[in-house]
Amino acid sequence: MKGPDTAVELNIPEIIHNYGQPMPLSQLIASLPIHPSKTSFIYRLMRILTHNGFFQHHNAIENEQEVKYELTYSSRLLIKDHPISMKSLSEFPFFPRFFKSWWEISTWFTNEDPSLFHSKNNMSFWDYVSHDPKFNHIFNDCMKTISLFTSSEVIEKCMSIKVFKGLESLVDVGGGTGTMAKVIAKSFPQLKCIVFDLPHVVANLQGTKNFEYVSGDMFEAIPSADCIMLKNVLHDWSEEESIKILDKCKQAIPSHGKVVIIEIVMEHKPEDETAIGGEQYLFDMIMMTFAGKERSEKEWANLILSAGFNNYKITPTSGLLSIIEVYP
C-alpha cells in the first residue's frame, strides 16, 4: 500500500509541521493541492495512517472535519529539514519510472534487455537520471540519506584498521553530493578529498579547504590520488563494466596507493550478525534494476584480480557493508 508515500507526495507531513500545532482536518484539506471532488477521501487516508502510527489524532468526535492531526516520530522523519530525514528514501522506490520497472520482471526474464529499468523505459537508469532533474534530485537525496546512516560504522572501522594511514589524498568516485567524503575529510584532516561524479550531479556544489568537487566520467579517466574510494558503485554495474572502472582506478593510484571499496559482501558475516538477515538478498534483487549485483567474496576476488590488482583484504563493519582494501 502506498499510504505513507501518498502522504509524502501530497506534502502532508510538511504541511502539518509548518502549521505548528495539531491541525484540523478542514485546514489540512484546504492546504492540499487536491481536486474538490476528492476532499472527502482525505479523512479516510488519514484514518488508516493514524491507525498505523504515522500520525496522531485529537478531538475524534462525530464531526470529522474537526479532528486534529499531529506528527509522530515516524512522520517527523519525513520532514525535509529533519537531521536524519528519510523523505527521499520513501520517494525513490515509488517514483513511477523506477517502481513500474518491477512490473516487467517476468518479461525481462524472457528478453535480452540488460536491466529491469531498461525493459520498462527503453533506456538505462543512468541515462534517465541525467535527463530528469526531479528524479536526479530524489536519487541524490536518497544516496545522501543512505550515506548518513552508514557513515558512522564505516568511519569507525576505517579508524580502527587504519585504512588511510600514510595517505594524503582521496577521490570518492561516484560520490554524489559528497556526504561520505565530507565525513572522511572531517575525520581525517590530513586527506585532501575530491568528490568525482557526473556533471549534472556536482554542478554548482562548493568545496572547502581540503574538499572539492570534480566532474567527469569514471569510464574515461579518474583524477589521480593515493586512494580511490568506491562506495556502493560497483554493485550497479556488470562484471565487464566493473572491471573497466577498476582499471581506471588502478591507473589513478601510485604503487603505494590503494582502492577502497565499500559494499555488501554476500553471505559475509558482519560484526553484528543480526544485521545480515535477508537484507543482502533484497539489495541484490534491487540491483537487477541497474544490471548490477551484490557479490560474494569469491566474486569480488575474481573481479579484483581480473582488473589487474594483486591483493585485497575484506573487513566487515557492524552493519551490512564491508570495507575491501585493494592493492596494485
Which sequence positions are flagged as catalytic? 235
Question: Per the structure block, which three cell numbers stand in for 30?
Answer: 484546504
What sign has the CA pseudo-torsion 177, 180, 185, 191? Answer: negative
Distance CA 171, CA 196 (A): 7
Rounded to a whole number of angstroms, the distance between the first and last alpha carbons of the chain is 49
Q: Are 297 and 248 in contact (CB under 8 A)?
A: no
Distance CA 314, CA 298 (A): 11
Distance CA 102, CA 288 (A): 9
Local structure of 276: helix, strand or coil: coil
Give 158's Cβ-side CA count (13 Å radius): 24
Element (H, E) at 26: helix 25-31
